[in-house]
A and B are shown apart, each in its own frame.
Chain A
Amino acid sequence: MAARESGGITSIHVDRVIHEPARLAIMGILGEGYQADFVFLKHTLALTDGNLASHLRTLENAGYLEVKKQFLGRKTNTLYAATKAGKEAYAEYRKVMLGLLLHPDNGVDKA
Chain B
Amino acid sequence: MSMDNAPQDPVTKVVLQPKVDLFAEYARAASGGGLLWTLQGLLLVIQTFILPLTPVGHWWSPFWLVPVYALYFLVRSPVWRRLYGRHGRVESEKLLQEARRSSWRLLIYLLPALYLVWPNALTAQIGAPGTPMGISVYGGMVWVAGLWAIVVIGGRLPLDFLYFLATQLLSVSLWREGPTAKQWVSGDVSDYRLLAAVLAFVGIYQHWRFGQRLRESTSDSKPR
Contact = CB atoms under 8 A, between A and B. Distances in A.
B92 A34 contact: yes
A48 B224 contact: yes
Given A92-B1, A94-B6, A29 B12 contact: yes
Contact of A40 (B1, B8, B87, B223): B87
Interface residues on A, range: 20 to 34
A95 interface: yes
B221 interface: yes
A29 B13 CA distance: 9
A91 B2 CA distance: 8
Secondary structure dominating the interface of A: helix
Interface residues of B, number: 31
B3 A87 contact: yes
A72 B27 CA distance: 12
B212 interface: no
A34 B91 contact: yes
Given A46-B222, A47-B223, A48-B224, A28 B88 contact: no
Interface stretch (B17-25, B123-131, B134-142, B185-193): B17-25
A19 interface: no
Interface of A: 25, 28-29, 32-44, 46-48, 51, 72-73, 77, 79, 87-88, 91-92, 94-95, 98
Given A35-B90, A51-B223, 14 more contacts: A25-B11, A32-B17, A34-B91, A35-B92, A37-B88, A46-B221, A47-B224, A48-B223, A73-B77, A79-B91, A87-B3, A92-B1, A94-B9, A95-B1
